[in-house]
Amino acid sequence: MNFLREYFIGDYLRQNPDVLKQASIRLVYNIIIVSLFSLVIFFSIYVIKGFHYQLIKNVVIMFLFASLLFYMKYRQSTALVCHLMILISWMNNNINIYLFDEYNFFIALLTVCDIIFAFHTLGSRWGLIYSGLHFFPVFGHFLLKSHGYQLNAGPLQEMVYSEGVITLVLIFFIIIYLVYHYHKAYELAQQTLAQSVADLEKERDIAEQMTRLKTNFLSNMSHEIRTPINGILGISQVIEMETTDDAIRKYISLQQVSGRRLLNTITSILELSRLEAEQNDLSLKIVEINGLIRNEIGPLETLAKNKHLDFYFSSHPEPLFCLADENMMKQVVNNIVGNAVKYTDKGRVSIATYITDDLEQLVVEVSDTGLGISEEFLPRIFNPFEQESTGRSRTYEGTGLGLSISKKYIELLGGEIRVNSMKSVGSTFRILLPIHKQLL
Ligand code: ADP
């Protein structure tokens, strides 16, 4: 028996490392083999008894089942084999029902077998289709009979005792095997699932540990860099105050611009790493957003005017309150309005505040007529260190951290940031935050 299995499905099993798939292949193969052996025995019974109709049917089915084994061997697939097996069994049942007018216990059991097998090997959709296919001919036969119609093309050939016993054993075997197979598959699936969950948990722990390490590294490094830069900046301020030499004053002011830029970058990295480690200690208080924006945009307006841009701020007529960390909010406004000014070379930058229709959220809307953002870049715009122009093509200063920090801040406050943009037309960023209601 082993050599037969090796011959027909040895390669097929080796090609499929998935144990569930292997169990399915074995199931299909075993059912074909057992059916074939039974058919050989039936063949001898029919020869002895001289049942010619059954003999012809038997030979055809034997030939078809044998072909299925070769199909499995060479095509290494079971779907078509399962369909054909079910259809052959279905046709066999119909031949018995319509030609021999025989509807007995065995045909009913075979029908059940076919349906379970279909659900098992081909899935629930095919299971239902085959259930219908098996039901309607039987139903039709009863209906025809009740109306007096009878096909009865062949002489009635009653099932002999030995044929009945073999059929019963065969069907019994198939049903037990299907249940056993189902149970095994269930156990295997449970084991595989438990293993996958354990693997995933392990991966998650490693990932969390790596994130912690990265965050610690970043925050330590940022701290180690920030402290000496502050020292350098402090000393350069002292030199600026002490010196009377104009050339040195000029060099010192250049040094301070670069130093502050470096400090800002490091501060952003530190901020992001803190946010990622969720070490953020928010000091929430009630903030009036119109006033906060008005106080923050002065230097940005000057920057916009220097670039000959129109700059507007249209605030909601009433004060808008929200619960926020004031420093965070200032940073968010600076990032988003700063970007609008930075990435706009002509036209206007406008800021507006208003309330959503459901009166639940306040909106800070920042629009510009600048570069715009391409459709491809838009989904990545809030990722840390992502910038649309990178490498040598970069023309604007920046770290690519402002938006990701702003988004994290706003989400911590229960709000969201949305963006609409069209390349070469402009962009609109909307910050939505829950309104602090008591004070409305
Ligand atoms: P950066 O420091 O580079 O400005 P941000 O996180 O603030 O970093 O922005 C990420 C990227 O998003 C920018 O590099 C730019 O490509 C794009 N971007 C942000 N705001 C605008 C805007 N108003 N117009 C066009 N592009 C923008």
Residues 155 and 34 occupy one common structural domain: yes
Q: How far is the CA of 402 from the centre of ligand 1 (A)?
A: 8
Which atom from ligand 1 is nearest to the alpha carbon of 388?
A: 16
Q: How far is the CA of 382 from the centre of ligand 1 (A)?
A: 9
Residues 195 and 290 occupy one common structural domain: no
Residue 365 pLDDT grade (very low, low, confident, very high; cuts 50, 70, 90) = very high
Which residue reads 């309607």 in tokens? 136
Q: At which of 201, 226, 255 does a domain end?
A: 201
Alpha-carbon span 369 to 308, nearest angstrom: 13
The model carries a pTM of 0.54
Residue 369: CB atoms within 10 Å: 19
Residue 239 maps to a domain = no
Which atom from ligand 1 is nearest to the alpha carbon of 398?
A: 2
Residue 439 is predicted with a pLDDT of: 45
Q: How far is the CA of 409 from the centre of ligand 1 (A)?
A: 17
Q: What is the share, in percent, of the chain residues with pLDDT greater than 70?
A: 94
Quick check: 425 and 431 in contact, CB under 8 A?
Answer: no
Quick check: 300 and 339 in contact, CB under 8 A?
Answer: no
Residue 257 maps to a domain = no
Pocket of ligand 1, candidates 303, 337, 389, 403: which has the most ligand atoms within 8 Å of its Cβ, to mutate?
403
Residue 363 pLDDT grade (very low, low, confident, very high; cuts 50, 70, 90) = very high
Ligand 1 pocket, 401 CB below 6 A? yes
Q: How far is the CA of 310 from the centre of ligand 1 (A)?
A: 20
Q: Is the pLDDT of residue 173 over 50?
A: yes
Q: Choose between 327 and 164: higher pLDDT.
A: 327
DSSP string, 31-74: HHHHHHHHHHHHHHHHHHHT-HHHHHHHHHHHHHHHHHHHHHHH
Number of H helices, E strands in the chain: 12, 7
Ligand 1 pocket, 339 CB below 6 A? yes
- Of 91, 124, 83, 129, the residue nearest 110 (C-alpha): 91
CATH of the domain at 343: 3.30.565.10
Residue 236: left (phi > 0), alpha (psi -120 to 50), or beta?
alpha
Q: Which amino acid is at 347?
A: G
Residue 246 maps to a domain = no
Residue 104 is predicted with a pLDDT of: 78
Q: pLDDT tens digits for 284-335?
A: 899 999 999 999 999 999 999 999 999 999 999 999 999 998 888 998 999 9
Q: How far is the CA of 232 from the centre of ligand 1 (A)?
A: 29
- Of 307, 308, 272, the residue nearest 407 (C-alpha): 272
The secondary structure of residue 399, as a DSSP letter, is -
Residue 203 pLDDT grade (very low, low, confident, very high; cuts 50, 70, 90) = very high
Q: At which of 181, 201, 221 does a domain end?
A: 201
Residue 430 maps to a domain = yes
Residues 324 and 186 occupy one common structural domain: no
For ligand 1, atom 16: residue with the closest CA: 388
Q: pLDDT tens digits for 349-358?
A: 999 999 999 9
Which atom from ligand 1 is nearest to the alpha carbon of 401?
A: 6
Residues 40 and 181 occupy one common structural domain: yes
Mean pLDDT of 184-210: 90
Residue 66 is predicted with a pLDDT of: 93
Helix/strand/coil for 256: helix
Q: Choose between 228 and 277: higher pLDDT.
A: 228
Structural domain including 326 reads: 284-439
Residue 216 is predicted with a pLDDT of: 79
Pocket of ligand 1, candidates 335, 367, 373: which has the most ligand atoms within 8 Å of its Cβ, to mutate?
373
Q: Is the pLDDT of residue 169 over 90?
A: no
Q: pLDDT tens digits for 43-56?
A: 888 888 888 878 88
Q: pLDDT tens digits for 108-157?
A: 888 988 998 898 888 889 999 999 999 998 888 888 888 877 666 556 56
Q: Is the pLDDT of residue 431 over 80?
A: yes
Q: How far is the CA of 339 from the centre of ligand 1 (A)?
A: 6
Residue 390 is predicted with a pLDDT of: 66
Mean pLDDT of 193-218: 89
Contacts of 8 (CB under 8 A, 6+ apart): 29, 69, 70, 72, 73
Q: At which of 177, 201, 225 does a domain end?
A: 201
Residues 177 and 291 occupy one common structural domain: no
Q: Which amino acid is at 368?
A: D
Exposed e or buried b per residue across 272-288, where buried means at least 16 C-beta atoms within 10 angstroms of its C-beta: bbbbbeeeeeeeeeebe
Residue 427 maps to a domain = yes
Residue 440 pLDDT grade (very low, low, confident, very high; cuts 50, 70, 90) = very low
Looking from the CA of 377 toward its CB, the CA atoms found within 13 Å total: 18
Ligand 1 pocket, 107 CB below 6 A? no
- Of 267, 13, 340, 24, the residue nearest 2 (C-alpha): 13
Q: pLDDT tens digits for 66-78?
A: 999 999 999 998 8
**Residue 416 CA, distance from chain mean position:** 23
Pocket of ligand 1, candidates 368, 381, 396, 399: which has the most ligand atoms within 8 Å of its Cβ, to mutate?
381
Q: How far is the CA of 124 from the centre of ligand 1 (A)?
A: 51
Q: How far is the CA of 258 from the centre of ligand 1 (A)?
A: 21
Please state the length of the chain. 440
Residues 25 and 168 occupy one common structural domain: yes
Residues 39 and 161 occupy one common structural domain: yes
Ligand 1 pocket, 384 CB below 6 A? no
Ligand 1 pocket, 370 CB below 6 A? yes
Residue 393 is predicted with a pLDDT of: 57
Quick check: 151 and 101 in contact, CB under 8 A?
Answer: yes
Pocket of ligand 1, candidates 333, 364, 366, 387: which has the most ligand atoms within 8 Å of its Cβ, to mutate?
387
Mean pLDDT of 397-418: 90
Ligand 1 pocket, 399 CB below 6 A? yes
How does the average pLDDT of the chain come out, rounded?
Answer: 87
Residue 218 maps to a domain = no
Residues 181 and 303 occupy one common structural domain: no
Residue 165 is predicted with a pLDDT of: 78
Residue 50 maps to a domain = yes
Q: Is the pLDDT of residue 374 over 50?
A: yes
Q: Choose between 203 and 220: higher pLDDT.
A: 203
Residues 185 and 288 occupy one common structural domain: no
Minimum mean pLDDT range among 5-19, 76-90, 310-324, 381-395: 381-395
Residue 244: CB atoms within 10 Å: 6
Number of independent structural domains in the chain: 2
Tokens for 12, please give them.
Answer: 């097929």
